[in-house]
Structure 1
C-alpha cells in the first residue's frame, strides 16, 4: 500500500495498492520533489471516471511503468471532487495549452507547483497519433535533466499567462451592470441559434443536460410569456426523459449522451446532475402541469433516496459507469443498464418481451447487440407498462451493481436538499422534505466547523480535511433557504445568512464585487481560482449571487442585495455571448428583474387557509420568488414583521422590496397576483 491508504476519498483509495508510490496533494510531496530534484506528476480524476479506470489498469498498475515513474518523478494523485481548486487551476492550463481538457488530467509540475507539460489520458502504447504514457514520461525526464532552463522558461510563461487570465474577471465585474431586459432577450435569441429543434438540447454530440439553461428559459417564460423559451425547455426535457440518458427502470439521469439523440449515455450517475434536473422538471411541471415531468421528478427523487442516500443521511457523489458483466465476468461500461432481447425473454417470457422490445426500443442501440432502454412514446397500456418495468427493475437488482463513490460533497448535497425540499412540498411527499432536513443536519453536524466554516467532504460520518470552496457555501445556503421556504423554520434562514456573510468576508473582492472560488485564507496555489461560468453545476460565483439575492429578499438587507447585483455584472457580458455557460447567472438575473417577488403568509399553525396560501405561493412560477410562512407576530424574519391577519383569517402579502400589495385570504387571488407580469 502506498501513501493513499489512509485517504478518505474513494478515488484515492482505488489507487492505494498501485505499485506507483503515490502521494496525496500536500507540501510534503513538493518538498520531496525539491529534495530529490525531480518533477512532479500530477494525476487528477474522480471515482466514477471511466477513462481514469482505464489508465489506472493500463499504466498505474503496470510494474515496469510504475518503476520508472517512481525513480524519476514524485507522483501526486488528486480527487478533483475533493479539491476542485487544484483541478480548476491546472485544467485551465491544460485547456489553454492543448485546446481541450478532461479526466484523467495529467500534468507535470516543477517542485514549485508550476506546470510545464500537459495532457489527459495517455495509452500504454502509441495510438492514433498519441504518444504512449511511457514515451511521455521519458520525454519529460529528458527535458528535465537535459534542458532545465527551457522547462523553467515554459513554466514561468504559463504562470504569467494564468495570472493575466485571472485579472479579467476582477476588472470586468466592477464595470458592468446586471443584465436587463435587452441582455436577457439577447441570451434567448443566442440560444435559439444552437438549439436542436428536432431532438432538443443545444449543439451536437456529445449532449450534456443543460440544467441551468433550462432553469433560465423557464424563468424567462414566466416573466415575459415567451413561448419560444418555454418550447426549448419543454422539448429538451421531454427528449432527455424519453432517451437512454434517463434510467427508464430505476429513475435518474446519466452524466451525458455520447450522441446527439440522447440515446447512448455515458453511464455514470452524478448527484449534482440529478439534483439540478429534478428541480428543472419540477419547475416545468409547475409551469405546465406536464405529467411526464412530474413522474420524472418523483422517479429521480426515489433514485436519490434508494441508491445515493448514505446511512448518515447525506447523499453520495456518484455511481460508477462500469460494473461487472455477468456474461463475461469482465468490467464493462453500461453492463448494469443494457439489455438484449434474449435477456428480456428470460425475465418476461416471449409475449411480454416482444412488447418490451417495442416499448423500450430495444434495437441494438448500444454495444455487442445490447440496448439501452428508451421510452419513445407513452405506453398504450400504462398498467402493463408498470408491470413490465417493475419486473425488469427487480431482475436488474440481481446484476453486479456499479460501485458507489460514497463521499458526501457539501455543495452537491446543498443542491439535493433544495430539490428534495421543493419536490416534497409541491408534490405532497413529506418523506422527501424529511430526507432534505436530514441531509442538512449532516452538513451542520459534520461539515460545519466550530468557527462556522464549511468542510467540503465527509465519508462515513467523518469530515475530510479540505476547506469548502465558494460553491459549497453558496449551494448549502441555497438548500437551507429552500428548507426555510417550505417549512418556515427560521433557523434555516439564519444558518444561510451566516454562510453568506462568510462569502462576503472571505470570497468577495471589495473593490470590484468579483468572487473567488477559494477563500482569502485558503491554501495558496499558483493562482487563486475564479470562474463565473457554469460547467456541470452552477458556478460558485452565480450560485452565490442567487443565494445572496434570495436572502436579501427575506431580510431586506441592502448589503446582500448589492453584493448580488455586483456579482451579476459579469453575466451582462458573458450571458449574451455564451448563454449556454452562464445559465444560472441568467436565471438569477430574471429573479432580480422580477423583484424578486416576496410572499409573506401568516396564520395559525395547522390552519387550512394558511396551508392553502402557502402551497399556492410555493407553486408560483414568478422567477426566484421567496416565500415565508409563520404565525402572526414573527419578528425574527423581517419579511414577516407587521403582517396581521385579514379579518381573523390567514393572509398572504405579495411584496417587492418590502413594498406590499393589500393582503388577501383568497388562494385564487394570490395565484393571479403571482402570475402577473
Structure 2
C-alpha cells in the first residue's frame, strides 16, 4: 500500500512511496501529528541519484520490522534536498556542527517544534565498524525521548540557540580589489595538485567556478600561473575517468586524486558549469580538446537530460542493473577486456584497451576499468578511434540504463541555458541555442507565476509546490542574460530584471547581505544564509554576478550597489578559502574590469553585424556584457543613441557608460575586449 509520498512530484520521494515506512512529506501536518501523538520526528533527507540513500532505503526503510518500530515511535518525514535546499541547509549545518562532517542520506531527529536533537547520516542495518545499527539508533532515541525528555529539550534548545549565533554578519567587508584577488590566486597555487590537476586530494571535485576565476584573472592580468592551472586541470579531467569518454559529460566527482574512478552519478549542474568553462577555455586558448569537450558535454545534456517539455532533468543515477540482474554503481560505464572483445572483436578490442586504459586487473571493481584517455593517439588513428567509440557506445546502449531524476530545477536550468546559449554561439550550433531557448520558455511558462515569482521545481510540465530560493532567481537571471546576448532578444533581459527585482525586494537584508530564502518563505528554525560556493555557485555569489551584469546593461545604480555590497564577503573569504568562493572571485574580476559593455549595432542579416557580434561574444574581458540590435532598437538600453558609423555596422565598447570611439572592424573590437584565440 502506497504511503503519503505517492502524491509527490519528486522522483526521490516517489521512490519511497511503497516503503512500509509511513512517510510524511515535510509540512505543518507532520509536525501537528507529532504534537498530537507526543513523539519526535525522524527527518530523512536525500536525493534521487544518491547511492547511499538507495542503500539505506533498501536495508532499513524497506524492512518491515524496522518500519513498524519507526512508525510506532516516530513521525517519519522524507525530504528531497533538491526540492527543499533550505530545509537541507539548516539541518545540515546542525549535523556538521555536531559531528564535524555531513552527507546524504542525512538523518536528523526533531522535536515537534522542528528543533534537532540527534544527528547522523547513513546508518547500517547492523552494527558495523563501531557504528550503531539504525534499529539501535531508533531504540536509543526513543528511550531518551521517553525517559530523559527534559534533557532532550535542553539539548534541542541549545542547538537552535547555537545555530542562531552562527548567523554571520558578512556585510561589513569591502568589495575586493586587485590585492584580494591576487591573494586568492596565491591560495589556489598552494592548493593546486601539480601532478594531477585540480585542487586538494581525494575525493576530488571539478572546481569549475575556481577555473572560471582563473580564466578571468588571466584575461585581466596576464597571469600564466592562472592560465596553466585552469588549462591543466581541464585537460586532466577531460582525459580522466570522471569524463565519459564515449557519451560525453562529467560524473559528480572522482574518488581518487588522479581523476581515475568517479562517483558515477551525472548532475545537470556539474555539466552545465563545466560545459561553459570548457567553452571559455577554448575562447581563451583555442584548445581543440576544450572545444571537443564543451560540445560533447552540451550534446550529452541535450541527448540524455532534456525532458519532453524542453527543460532539463536533474541527474542520472550512479547505479544501474547488470546483465545478471544485480544492481551496482558504475555498471553502465565500466568495461572488462572480455566486454571489449564481445563488442569489437579481438583486434579492435586490443586497440581500444590501449587507447582507453582498459587492463586485465581493472581500474575499478571486479576487474572492470573506467575508460580514460591517456593520449589522443596517432593522427592516422582518428577514424579508427571514432569507429571504436561509435560501436562501444552502441553496445553500451544495450545495457540497462541508470535511472533519471526528471524533475526540472529552476536554478540548474538557468546554468544550462547559459552554457548551451554560449556554446551554441561559439561553435555555430543553432540547435544548442534553440535548446537553451526551449528551456527558458519552460521556466517562464511553467515555473513563473503571474507576479514574477519562481517555483523551485517542476515535473511533466507541472510546477511543484516549493518556492524558488535565491539561487533559482540568480541562476535563471544569469542564464537569461547570456541568452539575451546570444539571441539579440531583449525580452530575456527584461525577465532577468524581473527576477533580480525579486532578489532585491525579498532576499536582501538592509546591510546588503543576502538570504537563501525569501522574506515571505516558510519560517524554519533559522533563515539560511550561506555565501560560499559548493557544487554550484551560492545563491549569494550568483546574485552578485547577475546584478552586476544587469547593472552594466541598464546603468541601474541600485543593482550595481547591491552587487558591490554582496561582493563584500568575497574580500573576506578570498585569501582564506578561495576554492569555496570561486564564483564570487570570478564576479569580483568582472567588477574590477568594469565590466565592459559592448553594444553591436547593425542589421541582423548583415554579415558585418554577425562578425562584430561574434567577436563581442568571444570577448575574454571578465564578465563583458553584449547588447546586439538594429539601429534605433529599444531591445537593450546599451543600444540607445548608438548609430551606425558611415552606414556600416559598428561596435561600441564602454565602461560605466563611458565609451571608446566606435569601430566597424572586428579586429579592432577584439583588441579592445581581450584576445580571442578561439575566434
Q: TM class by shorter-chain length?
A: over 0.9
TM alignment of 1:143-292, pairs within 5 A: 143-166=144-167, 168=168, 171-173=169-171, 175-292=172-289
Partner of 1:403 in structure 2?
403
- Equivalent in the alignment of 1:335: 331
For the residues of structure 1 that align with 2:384 and 2:569, how far apart are their CA atoms?
Answer: 52
Find the residue that maps to 1:577 and give its secondary structure: coil
The aligned runs of 1:344-363 (5 Å cut-off) are 344-363=340-359
Tell me by how many angstroms 1:635 deviates: 3.2
- Deviations 1:394-436 (Å, cap 9, x if unpaired)? 1100000000000000000000000000000011000000000
- Matching residue of 1:123: 124
Partner of 1:618: 617
Q: Which residue of 1 aligns with 2:385?
A: 385
In structure 2, what is the Cα distance between the partners aligned to 1:189 and 1:390?
43
Q: Secondary structure at the match of 2:5?
A: coil
Q: Distance in 2 between matches of 1:96 and 1:208?
A: 23
The CA distance in 2 between the partners of 1:226 and 1:594, in whole Å, is: 15
- Per-residue CA distance 1:232-291 (angstroms, 9 max, x = gap): 110100000000000000000000000000000000000000000000000000000000
Aligned to 2:46: 45
Q: Distance in 1 between matches of 2:397 and 2:348?
A: 19
Cα-to-partner distance string for 1:515-546 (whole Å, 9 max, x where unaligned): 00000000000000000001100000000000
Paired position in structure 2 for 1:500: 500
**SS of aligned partner of 2:78:** strand
- What secondary structure does 1:127 align onto? coil
Q: Cα RMSD between the aligned structures?
A: 0.8
Distance 1:312 1:676 in 2: 39
Aligned to 1:583: 582
SS in 1 for 2:109: strand
Q: What CA distance in whole angstroms lies between the structure 1 residues aligned with 2:574 and 2:653?
A: 30
Q: Is the 8 A contact 2:489 2:635 kept in 1?
A: no
Partner residue in 1 for 2:474 = 474
Alignment of 1:436-451 (within 5 A): 436-451=436-451
| Aligned equivalent of 2:6 | 5
> 1:383 Cα shift?
1.1
Distance 2:598 2:473 in 1: 25
3-state SS, counterpart of residue 5 of structure 1: helix
What are the Cα deviations for residues 435-475 of structure 1, in whole angstroms up to 9, with x where unaligned? 00000000000000112100000000111000000000000
Match of 1:371 among 369, 373, 395: 369
8 Å CA contact 2:11–2:48 kept in 1: the answer is yes
Aligned partner of residue 86 in structure 2, secondary structure = helix
CA contact (8 A) 2:620 2:675 kept: no
Kindly provide the CA deviation profile for residues 79-137 of structure 1, in whole angstroms up to 9, marking residues without a partner as x.
Answer: 00000000000000000000000000000000000000000000000111111000100
The answer as to 2:533 corresponding to 1:537 is no
Decide whether the 8 Å contact of 2:619 with 2:675 is kept in 1. no
2: CA distance, partners of 1:463 / 1:393: 35
Structure 2 length as normaliser, TM-score? 0.98
- For 2:630, the equivalent position in structure 1 comes to 631
Q: What is the DSSP-based 3-state SS (H/G/I as helix, E as strand, rest coil) of the residue aligned with 2:575?
A: helix
C-alpha distance after superposition, 1:177-210 (max 9, x if no partner): 1110000000000111110001001111000010
Cα distance in 2, alignment partners of residues 123 and 172 from structure 1: 39
Q: Which whole-Å CA distance do the structure 2 matches of 1:675 and 1:16 have between them?
A: 54
Correspondence for 1:95: 96
- Structure 2 CA distance, aligned partners of 1:241 and 1:40? 44
State the distance in 1 between where 2:663 and 2:451 align.
43
CA distance in 2, matches of 1:523, 1:575: 32
Q: Number of residues paired by the alignment?
A: 671
TM-score, length basis structure 1: 0.99
Partner of 1:311: 308
CA displacement at 1:636 relative to structure 2: 4.5
Unmatched segments (≥5 aa) in structure 2: none
Show the counterpart of 1:572.
571
Q: Which residue of structure 1 aligns with residue 458 of structure 2?
A: 458
Cα drift, residue 576 of structure 1: 1.2
Name the structure 2 match of 1:672. Answer: 671
Residue 172 (structure 1) shift:
2.7
Preserved contact between residue 87 and residue 524 of structure 2 (Cα < 8 Å): yes
Structure 1 outlier segments of 4+, above 4 Å: none
Q: Output aligned runs, 1:425-440, within 5 Å.
A: 425-440=425-440
How far apart are 1:676 and its partner, in Å?
7.8
